[in-house]
Structure 1
Amino acid sequence: MITSHDRPVMTDQELQQLRRDKWRINGQPVRTLDDARSFIESVGFCQLYPPRSSVLLPTLLGAWAGSDERLPNPQQAFADARAREATELMVRLLRDHGAYEANLGEESNSLLMAASVFPYFYALVGERNPRQSPKAGARAPYSQLACDAHEAIRRGGPISKQQLLTTLGKGISGAALDRALIELWSKLRITRVDYHPEQGASWDLLLRWAPEAVREGIQISLPEAVSAIVSKYFDGMVAAELAEVESFFGNFVSRSRIREAVNALLAARELSFVHVDSRTLIQIAAPKIAHRA
């Protein structure tokens, strides 16, 4: 990478190679739990499968395979051994609290994030008083079924979906329960804590599963949280356009707040611009070198 007029310059080919190295799709696959922890801490955010939308994110499946070629989507995963093995690694990572999971609006393809990032993410979307049970209402984000499911999980969690259906009684469809669980998961009330082929995912209260991370997140202000996760996103992507950052985090926070955070980080010289061919991207600023007097 060279500089021009005090602004770094790189080619798109150089950027893609840096991403391939960081995202472990350079022929050096992730294989162990320690490898997986290091990978997720390095990139900050990823999904298991390639994103369905235009969101710029690495994948755990690609890191497992060591390549981004011919990766299956969730519907094709049953016929791909790589997908089964990467899923097993993801379950181990979540079970070990090496990563956390959040709903990104894609069925069977949730957002995974590093343990160090999660408290900041919780500060963005989580409840500030998670000990208070959710209540249904016209202005509340929870249905009555979601509130009932929360109480059942509080009493009996970790608990599988089938066990929840039995607990909640007849007349409730699996699809209705799925919607209720997503309501709770989207506000980080609950999380998937385990998976068994026979029973599927097991759910528990996030506060019970990860009390320290939740307590830390409650103490973080919204501006601090936005700045931290935006910085980590730029680091994980090597460099990105503002529109790409907004496309991703716009799922969780207003785009105006994202722009405010980016502008503040640029003003503080914690972020910097970089020319990539004809585009202007943003990256983590190079560390300053101290000079002795």
Structure 2
Amino acid sequence: MIIIPLLVALFVGGGTSIAAESALPGNVLYPMKVSVNENVRGFFAVGAEADANWDARRAERRLEEAETLAMMGELNAELRADLEARMESHIEAFKARAAELEDGDDAEAGAEARADFESAIRAHEGILARIVAERAEGRAEVQSLLSRVRLQATAATEARVMAESRISLGLGVNVQAAAEGKMGASSNKIAEAKTYIAKVKASVSAEVYARAEARLNVAIAAHARGEAQLQAKAYAQAFASFQEAIRVSQEAKLIISAEERLDVGASGALRIDSGTNVRTETNTETNSGTGVRGEVKTEVKIGL
């Protein structure tokens, strides 16, 4: 089995494998990150739903790498093209897994996976747009990536809407129970997002907090609309409203979590903070002038 040599490589080179997790494209450890570490993690993703979530996460990882390179002024045409290709390959794999769920016995899980992916890619769309607006260096490459991400975000929204419509039409006599179950899930997700956002309020910029709070308010409104629709026995519409509340709550959390990697200074301008507050591992050019990026821990932040 192909996984055996991968596991051997992982455990024999354990320290190297861990270091590879922070590698960016162009780093000598990057091939281990994407070809060994990620394949091993994928092996332990059991089932179509877990596979779909991992494929979506891999696409996010490529976007995070691109954002970090862009903030460092190192996102050139070659690296951008490579990351775009990898991202789109992961997205195609995700779409296939989600379709597998929808065509099987777990259409709701497929729709939820699509909603989560849409939330994530919309968050990255916002990050890239801010980088384009505020950083002149490498702007053309970031703009090119942003255009591709926007296309994927639009496609993700369309696929999610279609998946939710199919579920609503196919619920039949179970539509009331499904809507009531989704109401509980929506309430929990909103409470989770509210707690998380309040917890980190003091550590994020006012702008980022306001954006997250605005999205949370949209989720709360969608939940309230769903409750009214449920009382009116418009169960399919209530189901869709609760699903929207879940999706937007997740987006609110993602806006805040991106602040863990990306920040905005007091002036509102983008910056790279390489001080003692280490959170995100990135790379700079070192290693005796060889041009090989070495491992340097740094904090890169941006407002959304």
Q: Give the TM interval when normalised to the shorter protein.
A: 0.3 to 0.5
* Larger relative strand fraction: 1
What TM-score results when the alignment is normalised by the length of structure 1? Answer: 0.34
